[in-house]
Amino acid sequence: MPLAVLSVLGAVLAGCASGTGAEPVREDPRHAAAPPGPAVSVAGRTTATYRAAGPRGAAPEAALMRRVAGVLRARAAAFGLDGPVVAVRGATVTVTASGPAADALRQIAATGDAVFRPVLDPAAVPTALRQRYAALDCDTADTADTPASAAPRLPTVACRRGGPAGRAEKLVLGPAALDGTAVSGATAADSTAGGWAVELRFTARGRAALAALTAGLARRPAPANRLAFLVDGAVVSAPAVTAEDTAGTARIGGLTPASARNLAALVGGGPLPVGLALEDVTTTSS
């Protein structure tokens, strides 16, 4: 994903800690009714300009760009932007909203690629992967957000903020067991038991896969009984699984109100079909 967009993902997920759960082009129904957040009309407009790149840097087809526009409109509404307007011209996308909305406009362009990876026991992985784990330093500010960089089908190592004693934790992660296509929606809500959380809902295929995955993990000894949830390679949550998930939902807890709303906005409507690189953000007064 473009570095300009990856650099803002930390802001999107700020405050996240471990949770307690874990063709013909058609308009995605998830993009048609994004729940609006709080919006306040203020003077001035902010405009962000992005550049899309398809596979091997080629210009994306028009159908893909229409899907990009649909995802961005849904995210803009979920982020609570006031009067957002999304426009596409070739491979260039502009999003304009009322007020000083620069931070939100940076965040909505994250790819939003969600995956679930099982956590592996470092002592039980191949030597090369164990050596990568040993060499990974998650204790400095620069490395605490080290994302999982491997392809979804490959095991990897990554850092997760909010580990034991508040320190960043390093993890060995297995190949992706579920991806964002299994998620049908996401809702942020305040829970009296554990602060703000995001509840993920799954498709029929996703519910069956989640049940089988959690049933297997629940039988494993720690630390191999954990399931990590990642967005754009960043580990958001990695809770222990104690029982099969038969409800077809996963709860990502321990969030702030802003991080919960932003996370739900990013993953609830599916990922962007192509990566966006932020080119410019400008704010003008009325």
- The CATH number of whichever domain residue 160 belongs to comes to 3.30.1360.200
Q: Quote the pLDDT of residue 100.
A: 87
3-state secondary structure of 243: coil
CA neighbours within 13 Å on the CB side: how many for 52?
26
Q: What is the mean pLDDT of residues 221-246?
A: 93
**Mean pLDDT over the full length of the chain:** 82
- Total domain count, the chain: 1
Q: Quote the pLDDT of residue 211.
A: 96
Tell whether the model's pLDDT for residue 142 goes beyond 70.
no
Q: Is residue 95 part of a domain?
A: no
Q: What is the mean pLDDT of residues 207-230?
A: 96
Q: Is residue 45 part of a domain?
A: no
Return the minimum-mean-pLDDT range out of 103-117, 141-155, 186-200, 210-224: 141-155
Q: Is residue 106 part of a domain?
A: no
Residue 56 CA to residue 88 CA, distance in Å, equals 21
Q: How many helices (H) and strands (E) does the chain have?
A: 7, 13
Tell whether the model's pLDDT for residue 4 goes beyond 70.
no
Residue 109 CA to residue 75 CA, distance in Å, equals 9
Q: Quote the pLDDT of residue 29.
A: 43
Tell whether the model's pLDDT for residue 207 goes beyond 70.
yes
**pTM (predicted TM-score):** 0.79
Q: Give the structural domain span for 250.
A: 114-266
55 φ/ψ angles, rounded to the nearest 5 degrees: -55, 135
What is each CA distance from 153 to 58, 124, 144, 176, 182, in whole angstroms?
A: 24, 18, 23, 6, 16
Q: Is residue 245 part of a domain?
A: yes
3-state secondary structure of 3: helix
Q: Is residue 199 part of a domain?
A: yes
Question: What is the helix (H) or strand (E) element at residue 151, kind and residue range?
Answer: none
* Percentage of residues in the chain having pLDDT higher than 90: 55
